Amino acid sequence: MSTDTALVAGRQLSLAFGNRQILQDVDITLMAGQIVTLIGPNGAGKTSLVRLVLGLEQPTGGSLRRRPGLRIGYMPQKLHLDPSLPLTVSRFLRLAHNDRAAIAANLALTGVDHLADSSMHHLSGGELQRVLLARALLRDPSLLVLDEPVQGVDVAGQARLYQLIADIRDQRQCGVLMVSHDLHLVMAATDTVICLNQHVCCHGHPDNVSEHPAYLELFGHSATAGIAVYTHHHDHDHDMHGDVTDCDANHCQHKDHHHG
Amino acid sequence: MADFLIYALLAGCSVAMLAGPLGCFAVWRRMAYFGDTLAHSALTGVALGLILSVNVSLAIVLFSLLLALALVALQHNSSLASDTLLGILSHAMLAAGLVLVALFGRGRVDLYAYLFGDLLAVTPTDLYTIAAVAAVIIPGLIALWRPLLSLTVHEELAQVEGVAVVRTKLLLMLMMALLVAVAMKVVGVMLVTALLIIPAAASRRLARSPEQMAIGASLIGVTAVLGGVASSFVWDTPAGPSAVLCAALAFGLSLLRPMPA
C-alpha cells in the first residue's frame, strides 16, 4: 500500500506523558474509501492515537504526515453540554458550518431531520450520535474520525448506524477511522482492524485479525464466535428487544453475546 | 436631572449591557469563580496603581490580565483542582489588596467604594474609560461569537474545525478583565461576579438560543441598574448592592417560568 496517496500516514508513533508510555511504535495508514477500526481494551491508547491523528496532541516520537489540505470531520465520544446553554440542533450544526441547505441535507442523511428545531438537551443517545455524525459530515470531510460512534445506542440501532457509516463511505469515498469497544458488529463493517494495546498487537482484514494469536489473547476465544455469526448477519432477524429470532442451532449462541 | 445621576445611569447601563453576553459565557463555561478571582485581584491592582502612580483602571486591567495568565499556567502544572487554585488566588489577592491599600493608600482610597461600588460618584473620565472598554469588547464579541460558542460546546471539536482555541480563550479572559476593571465603579469588587452571573442566569428560561440569552441578560442587567439607581435616589440605599438585589429578584421571577422546550 503506497503511503504517498494516504490521507494520514503515521510511522513509529510514540506518545508519553512524563514516565507513562501511552503509545509505542504505532504505524497507521488511512486511505480514501477505507474504513479502519481501532479496537483494544480500556487504557490501550485508542483515544490517544485518535488525538494524534486529529492533531490535538503531538507525538513524542515517530512521524505523522497528513495530506496537505486534509479536511477532517470529527465525531467526539461525548458531548458535555452545560444545561444553561440554550441550543437547538440546527444552531449546534451552524457552529461548524453556516449553510442551511447543507445542514438540512446532512440531517436527512443521518435520519434526524425531524429534530432540527429540538433542543440539544432533549436528545436520546441514538439521536445525539446521529446529530454528531451530521456535524462531522457537514464540512464535506475527506476523513471521518469517529470515536465510539455507537455509544449509547441499542443493539439494533448500532447495526443500522454502522451500515449508515459504510454507506457514507461508499457515496463520498472518504476515509474513516473508528474507535470501538465492540467486537461483533463493527467487524463486518470494516476493511482493516488495528488491534491496539499500547503498541499494535495485530492488524489486517477482520477475518485474519480475529484468528490472530495476539487478538485471541486480548479478547479470548469467545469473541471469535460472535464475529463468525456477524459476518452472516442476514441469516436472522431482530425482534423489538434486539434479541435474535429464527436462528438455527449454530447461531443461537449469538444471543448470549448481546447480553453478555 | 442632576449631572451625577445622568453619569450614574450611563455608566451603570453601559456596564450592565456589556456584562450580559460576557456573563453568559461565565455561566456556560462555569467561570463564576474565575470572575471572582479577577474582581478580587482588582483591589491589588488599585493599590499597585497608587504605589506606581499609574492610572488606576489601567493598573487593574494589567494586573487582572497578569493574574489570568498566571492562572492558565498554574492549571497546566498543578495537581490541585482548579476551584482550589482559584480559591487560593482569589482570597490571597483580596487580602493583598486590603493590606497594600492600608499601607500605601490611607487617606487616598475610599475602601468601601472599591469594595461595593460608588455609582453616584462616577465622573466624565470614568465614562470615557467605559466607552473605550466598550469599543474593545463589542467588536471583540461580534468577531469571536461563533468560535467562542463553538469551543464552549466542545473544545476539541472546535479545534479540529479550525478554531484557534488558546487564542480565543485568552481574548475572552482579556475582555472579562476589561469589564471587571470598569464594573468595579458600578458594583465594587465584592459584587462584580453577581453582575455577570445573575442577569445571565435570569435570562436562561426566557431564551431558546444563545443570542437570545445574551441579549436578555443585557436587558435584565440594565433594568436592574435602573432599579438600583432609583432605589438609591429614593431611599438612599447603596446603588450597586441595590442593583444586584434587583437582578436577584429578576432571577427569582424567572424561576416561575417553565424551562423552554
| Rg over CA atoms, chain B | 18
C-alpha cell at position B245: 438585589
Contact: A86, B201; criterion CB under 8 Å: no
Nearest to B243, CA basis, from B13, B51, B64: B13
In the three-class reduction of DSSP (H, G, I as helix; E, B as strand; rest coil), residue A10 is classed as strand
C-alpha cell at position B170: 485568552
Residue A189 phi/psi, 5° resolution? -105, 20
What is the pLDDT at residue A236? 42
Q: What is the CA angle A81-A114-A190, rounded to 5?
A: 75
Q: For chain A, say whether B205 makes contact (Cβ under 8 Å).
A: no
What is the pLDDT at residue A259? 38
- Of the pLDDT bands very low, low, confident and very high (cuts 50, 70, 90), residue B143 is very high
Nearest to B179, CA basis, from B213, B218, B219, B134: B134
Alpha carbon B230 to chain centroid distance?
22
Share of chain B above pLDDT 90, in %: 52
- Which CATH superfamily does the domain covering B3-188 fall into? ABC transporter involved in vitamin B12 uptake, BtuC (1.10.3470.10)
Average pLDDT estimate for A215-240:
50
DSSP 8-state symbol, A88: B
What sign does the dihedral B197-B200-B205-B210 (CA atoms) show? negative
Average pLDDT estimate for A135-156:
90
Q: Minimum mean pLDDT among A114-128, A236-250, B159-173: which range?
A: A236-250
Chain A partners within 8 Å of B150 (Cβ):
95-96
Q: Of A54, A84, A91, which has the smallest distance from its Cβ to B27's Cβ?
A: A84
What is the pLDDT at residue A135? 95
Domain layout of chain A by residue ranges? 8-71+141-259
Average pLDDT over chain B reads: 90
To the nearest whole angstrom, how far is the Cα of B250 from the nearest Cα of chain A?
A: 17
Average pLDDT estimate for B190-202:
93
Q: Of A56, A81, A122, which has the smallest distance from its Cβ to B156's Cβ?
A: A56
A77: nearest CA partner in chain B: B157
Contact: B154, A122; criterion CB under 8 Å: no
Contact: B212, A119; criterion CB under 8 Å: no
What is the pLDDT at residue A256? 38
One-letter identity of residue B96:
A
* CATH top class, domain A8-71+141-259: alpha beta
Contact B154, A82 (CB under 8 A): no
- Of the pLDDT bands very low, low, confident and very high (cuts 50, 70, 90), residue B107 is confident
Nearest to A194, CA basis, from A53, A39, A7: A39
Domain layout of chain B by residue ranges? 3-188
Residue B113, class by beta-carbon neighbours within 10 Å (0-12 exposed, 13-18 middle, 19+ buried)? middle
Which of A77, A82, A84 to mutate: most B Cβ within 10 Å? A84
Distance CA B161, CA B150 (A): 9
- Mind listing the pLDDT tens digit for each residue in B144-167? 999 999 999 999 999 999 999 989
What is the pLDDT at residue B261? 55
Nearest to A139, CA basis, from A172, A163, A182: A172
Cα Dmax for chain A: 54
Supply the ipTM of this predicted assembly: 0.86
- Mind listing the pLDDT tens digit for each residue in A198-209? 888 777 787 777
Contact A169, A189 (CB under 8 A): no
Contact B258, B41 (CB under 8 A): no
Contact A133, A76 (CB under 8 A): no
The count of other CB atoms within 10 Å of the CB of residue A33 is 13
